[in-house]
Amino acid sequence: MTDRPATAPESGPETVRIERPVVEFLRMYVRNWAAVAGFIVFAAIVFAALFAPVILAVDPFEMVRMHFTPPGHDSYVLGTDNLGRDMLTAIVYGARATLVVGGSAAGLTIVIGLTIGSLAGYYRGWVDEVLMRITEFFQVLPPLLLAMVLVALFEPTLPTVAIAIGVVTWTGVARLARAEFMRIRELEFVKAARSIGSRDRRIIWRVILPNALPPLIVNAALTCGIAILFEAALSFLGLSDPNVMSWGKIIGDNRDYLLDAPWTVTIPGVAIFLTVLAVSLIGDGLNDAFNPRLRER
Amino acid sequence: MLLLAVVVFNFILLSLVPGDIADTLAGESGGASQEVMDDIRRTYGLDRPFHIQLATYVGKVVQGDLGTSYYFNMPVTELILGRVAPTLLLVVTALVLAILIGTLFGVIASRRPNGLFSHFVTVLALVGFAAPVFWTAFLLIVLFVAMLEIMPLSGLVDPTTPRGTFSWYLDVLHHLFLPVLSLSSIYLASYSRLARASMMDVLGSDYIRTARAKGLGETSVTYKHALRNAVIPVITIAGLQFSHIFSGAVVVETVFTWPGLGTLAFESILRGDTPTIMGILFFSAMIVIVVNLLTDLTYRLVDPRIRSARNA
């Protein structure tokens, strides 16, 4: 909002003041307090993940005290787990695995989904037919089960987990991208682009894609949330890298002691919950900012 | 066609695994001679070329034979059929509950779009999406098992209860409560938001204005006229998401050691029991396809327009 004085003089006295789209977008976003809160929480989690070694220069796997020290005891704010490892350190370091795997899996989901969806929606005909059969194929297989099989088949490393999640979750993005491309390819400006002889590749990337972006960006936030939940579920089940601390892994390691030391299970869950909540609040905020008219309903 | 693709895909995928049954068995018994290993491979048909193995497997699947489990040493089909009832009980109960309560919440919220309950539905939807299902399950365990001590921790039924009696069924219901609550929590949240949005859409349409104009009471308008249309998107999404609910069941079953397909799938993956994994993947794909067909049939039940269009 501080940009307003800078942009205002540029517009002539009689014209309606038109803000740059980015500024207007930001203004709409900032008005939604829940979305701002989501952004702040998410930024804090990213900050903790980035600077984990600076904040807490301890190995998250190191056993520092008696196992199951309750939270708040002896400067161990969140207590210790079944092996006497500090929970706070585990949570801060766990954020790294969760964000890296969740983020790259979501990226992969979007790349696969967008490629398949845009090709199917743009070319239609037999291309659409083939690609949609493939999409259907992935839709009838339970996604988590397939991801579990994939991780178990190959080595349980972070890249494998990210790829497995990407491979099983892209169908939603593909369907959305396909619908958008089908709608936009019939619009006038696409016909105009074709009439001046633009090639397919240019029409897909430079003409249609920018116009299809808003719903896809909103969906990307959702995709991120889903990817984080998948990562948590896989590492909870022990189907992730055993040498990397992650939130799901802490819960999985301590699940047998739930009734004796409930904090070892509930606290990492809060971390997962807050992260996904923050991401979906950001998604809601983006949705409202892209479609200002929806808000007034 | 789709099922055939699933079978072939599973087979190719699981053939990529390094090591086979002979290695596993040899490892478990502390080493075996080359002859014994060859013998095991011959028993399971693993010495034959890949495409023959694939064709044999597909041919058997068509006849309902999913192979023999390496671990249990019994037919996979039998194994799966023995485990399918608890899973269906869990999944179907959770789904029906989520649809019913979700729709009800949505309808109530739609009557006052800016009321307190409407905001509650919005928050519920966010919370339900963000909470990992195993965490919800553990929180419920802490509350109902540890603090209130009114629910059993795990399993399908107390083994001391005589099977088949009325109290046995009651005990199953008792054990079912927490798993169903955990599993349905995710979907209840999203269905109530969806039902609210679609109710608000429908309530603004012309035929609702007509119904009101001819003097029908608000209850009749909401529940008889609007609800029928508003529930269609919920059913559509529920049908589409069925494979996800099945995924959720895998996690919930492992948390509550519920003796269903999910637990079997998880344990088989850890044991490297390839025929069982392939069988479960195939079987769950089949269930998803059947459910999609059922969803189509439900439309006809709910929406008379679709019925007449098909009959015409």
ipTM, interface predicted TM-score of the complex? 0.81
Task: Check CB contact under 8 Å for A273 and B132.
Answer: yes
A272 with B135: CB under 8 angstroms? yes
Q: Which residues of A touch B251 (CB under 8 A)?
A: 144, 233, 236-237
Residue B86 falls inside a structural domain: yes
B80 with B64: CB under 8 angstroms? no
Distances (CA, A) of A141 to A45, A104, B120, B205, B278: 33, 22, 34, 38, 11
> Rounded to a whole number, what is the distance in Å from the CA of B164 to chain A's nearest CA?
31
All residues at 6 or more sequence positions from A177 whose CB lies less than 8 Å from its CB, including other chains: A113, A114, A116, A117, A118, A121, A212, A216
Task: Check CB contact under 8 Å for A255 and B138.
Answer: yes
Find the residue in B nearest to A132 (Cα).
Answer: B2
B166 and B209 part of one domain: yes
Planar angle of CA A290, A291, A297, nearest 5 degrees? 150
Q: Which residues of B touch A253 (CB under 8 A)?
A: none
Task: Check CB contact under 8 Å for A266 and B139.
Answer: yes
Question: What pLDDT is attached to residue B6?
Answer: 73
DSSP conformation class of A255: G
Find the residue in A nearest to B143 (Cα).
Answer: A259
Number of domains chain A is built from? 1
Question: What pLDDT is attached to residue A40?
Answer: 87
Q: Which residues of A touch B281 (CB under 8 A)?
A: 141-142, 145-146, 149
Question: What pLDDT is attached to residue B194?
Answer: 84
pLDDT in tens, B97-156: 888 888 888 888 887 778 888 888 888 888 888 888 888 888 888 887 767 766 676 766
* CATH number of the domain within which A125 lies: 1.10.3720.10
Question: What pLDDT is attached to residue A45?
Answer: 85
For testing the chain B interface, which of A134, A149, A151, A297 should be mutated: the one with the most B CBs within 10 Å?
A149
Secondary structure class of A158 (helix, strand, coil): helix
Secondary structure class of A245 (helix, strand, coil): coil
Secondary structure class of B11 (helix, strand, coil): helix
- Residues of chain B short of pLDDT 50, as ranges, are 311-312
B53 and B84 part of one domain: no
B98 with B184: CB under 8 angstroms? yes
Give the residue numbers spanning the domain of B232.
80-311
C-alpha closest to that of B129 among B240, B242, B248, B236: B248
B217 and B247 part of one domain: yes
B20 and B133 part of one domain: no
Q: What share of chain B is helix, strand, coil (3-state, %, to 5)?
A: 80, 0, 20
B52 and B152 part of one domain: no
B33 and B167 part of one domain: no
Q: Is B49 left (phi over 0), alpha (psi -120 to 50) or beta?
A: beta
Task: Check CB contact under 8 Å for B134 and A251.
Answer: yes
For residues B263 and B253, give the distance between their C-alpha atoms in angstroms, rounded to a whole number: 6
Residue B72 falls inside a structural domain: no
Question: What pLDDT is attached to residue B116?
Answer: 83
For residues A209 and A181, give the distance between their C-alpha atoms in angstroms, rounded to a whole number: 8
For testing the chain B interface, which of A42, A133, A139 should be mutated: the one with the most B CBs within 10 Å?
A139
Last residue of a domain, one of B62, B94, B110: B62
* CATH number of the domain within which B278 lies: 1.10.3720.10
For residues A79 and A245, give the distance between their C-alpha atoms in angstroms, rounded to a whole number: 16
Number of domains chain B is built from? 2
CB < 8 Å from A in window 248-277 of B: 248, 250-251, 254-255, 265-266, 269-270, 272, 277
A230 with A165: CB under 8 angstroms? yes
Q: How many CB atoms lie within 10 A of CB A250?
A: 27
Task: Check CB contact under 8 Å for A266 and B270.
Answer: no
Residue B45 falls inside a structural domain: yes
Residue B71 falls inside a structural domain: no
Question: What pLDDT is attached to residue B281?
Answer: 85
B166 and B280 part of one domain: yes
B158 and B45 part of one domain: no
B159 and B185 part of one domain: yes
Question: What pLDDT is attached to residue A268?
Answer: 87
Secondary structure class of A8 (helix, strand, coil): helix
Find the residue in A nearest to B261 (Cα).
Answer: A145
Q: Which residues of B touch A269 (CB under 8 A)?
A: 131-132, 134-135, 138-139
pTM more than 0.90: no
All residues at 6 or more sequence positions from A282 whose CB lies less than 8 Å from its CB, including other chains: A35, A38, A39, A42, A221
**Which of A140, A272, A280 is opposite residue B285, by nearest beta carbon?**
A140
B110 and B161 part of one domain: yes
Question: What pLDDT is attached to residue B1?
Answer: 66
B261 with B280: CB under 8 angstroms? yes
For residues B258 and A111, give the distance between their C-alpha atoms in angstroms, rounded to a whole number: 37
The b/e string for A179-193 (b: 16+ C-beta within 10 A; e otherwise) is ebbeebbeeeebeeb
Secondary structure class of B150 (helix, strand, coil): coil
Residue B74 falls inside a structural domain: no
Residue B70 falls inside a structural domain: no
Q: Which residues of B touch A237 (CB under 8 A)?
A: 251, 254, 266
C-alpha closest to that of A144 among A226, A207, A260: A226
B297 and B242 part of one domain: yes
C-alpha closest to that of A246 among A60, A48, A85: A60
Residue A218 falls inside a structural domain: yes
For residues B265 and B287, give the distance between their C-alpha atoms in angstroms, rounded to a whole number: 15
Tokens of B74: 């019994």
C-alpha closest to that of A273 among B254, B135, B120: B135
Q: Counting Cβ atoms within 10 Å, is residue A67 exposed (0-12), middle (13-18) or buried (19+)? A: middle
Question: What pLDDT is attached to residue A112?
Answer: 92
**Which of A153, A232, A237 is opposite residue B13, by nearest beta carbon?**
A153
Give pairs for A253-258: CB < 8 Å, separation 24+: A253/A81, A253/A82, A253/A83, A254/A81, A254/A82, A255/B138, A255/B255, A256/A82, A257/A68, A257/A82, A258/B138, A258/B141, A258/B142, A258/B146
Residue B268 falls inside a structural domain: yes
CB < 8 Å from A in window 69-128 of B: 126-127
Give the residue numbers spanning the domain of A135.
79-294
Name the residue with tokens 């269609």. B232
- Residues of chain A short of pLDDT 50, as ranges, are 1-12, 295-297
> Rounded to a whole number, what is the distance in Å from the CA of A155 to chain B's nearest CA?
10
φ, ψ for residue B75, nearest 5 deg: -55, 135
Q: Which residues of A touch B6 (CB under 8 A)?
A: 137, 140-141
